[in-house]
């Protein structure tokens, strides 16, 4: 994404050009959706939260100043929305447990056209997700933001509000741990 072009679009929107917001949303909606989906692991929630992110962006764009890249600011909002979602879900689960009403909520699923390929892919994702789940919370956040969202060290530091050196340490430790956890699968070349 062109940083300067993002800033121009934001300025246009601040001056009343609604098409500029449509363009910003077109550029980032799939990346934000994917980021949130990895966090909430539910397609429907990810769709709703992506809409919420862009609603918050729209309402706050008049305040945005180019101190950081627009995409960094956008991911910071997405990060905060996903954190709020997890807190809300935690409260709901606690309330349900208190009321003895806990039941399994079905998750939306996409059906693949090639069942055999879908099974192999699901197995690969399951193994990788299990390995990523063994990371500490900070390592997991940093790793996912860097490898899945393509964010740079500096951007991750700004989003999480930590030093760049801390981000580098978390990323290094995450990669080192994942190499160890995934070594048996790499040797078998199945995953």
**Domain residue spans of the chain:** 1-109, 111-191
Q: Which fold has domain 111-191?
A: Arc Repressor Mutant, subunit A (1.10.10)
Residue 90 pLDDT exceeds 80:
no
pLDDT band at residue 107 using 50, 70 and 90 as cut-offs: very low
* Span 118-124, average pLDDT: 69
**Alpha carbon distance 81, 159 (integer Å):** 12
Domain 1-109, CATH class in plain words: mainly alpha
**Alpha carbon distance 183, 191 (integer Å):** 10
* Span 131-138, average pLDDT: 86
Residue 109 pLDDT exceeds 50:
no
pLDDT band at residue 100 using 50, 70 and 90 as cut-offs: very low
- pLDDT above 70 covers a percentage of the chain that reads 78
- pLDDT above 90 covers a percentage of the chain that reads 26
Residue 98 pLDDT exceeds 60:
no
pLDDT band at residue 124 using 50, 70 and 90 as cut-offs: confident
Integer CA distances (angstroms), 73 to 2, 33, 45, 60, in order? 15, 15, 21, 11
User: Please, what is the average pLDDT of the chain?
Assistant: 80
pLDDT at 2: 63
pLDDT at 115: 66
Residue 56 pLDDT exceeds 60:
yes
135 neighbors 174 (Cβ within 8 angstroms): yes
pLDDT at 36: 92
Burial of 52 (0-12, 13-18, 19+ CB in 10 A): middle
6 neighbors 70 (Cβ within 8 angstroms): yes
pTM: 0.60
pLDDT band at residue 186 using 50, 70 and 90 as cut-offs: low
């Amino acid at each position: 994404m062109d940083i300067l072009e993002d800033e121009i679009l934001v300025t246009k929107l601040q001056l009343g050009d609604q098409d500029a917001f449509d363009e910003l949303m077109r550029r980032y909606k799939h990346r934000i959706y994917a980021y949130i989906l990895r966090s909430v692991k539910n397609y429907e929630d990810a769709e709703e939260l992506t809409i919420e992110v862009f609603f918050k962006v729209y309402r706050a764009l008049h305040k945005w100043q180019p101190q950081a890249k627009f995409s960094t600011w956008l991911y910071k909002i997405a990060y905060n929305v996903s954190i709020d979602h997890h807190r809300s879900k935690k409260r709901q689960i606690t309330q349900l447990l208190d009321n003895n009403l806990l039941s399994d909520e079905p998750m939306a699923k996409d059906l693949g056209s090639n069942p055999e390929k879908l099974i192999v892919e699901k197995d690969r994702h399951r193994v990788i997700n299990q390995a990523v789940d063994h990371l500490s919370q900070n390592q997991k956040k940093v790793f996912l933001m860097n490898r899945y969202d393509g964010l740079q060290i500096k951007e991750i530091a700004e989003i999480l509000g930590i030093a760049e050196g801390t981000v580098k340490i978390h990323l290094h430790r995450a990669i080192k741990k994942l190499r160890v956890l995934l070594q048996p699968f790499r040797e078998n070349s199945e995953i």
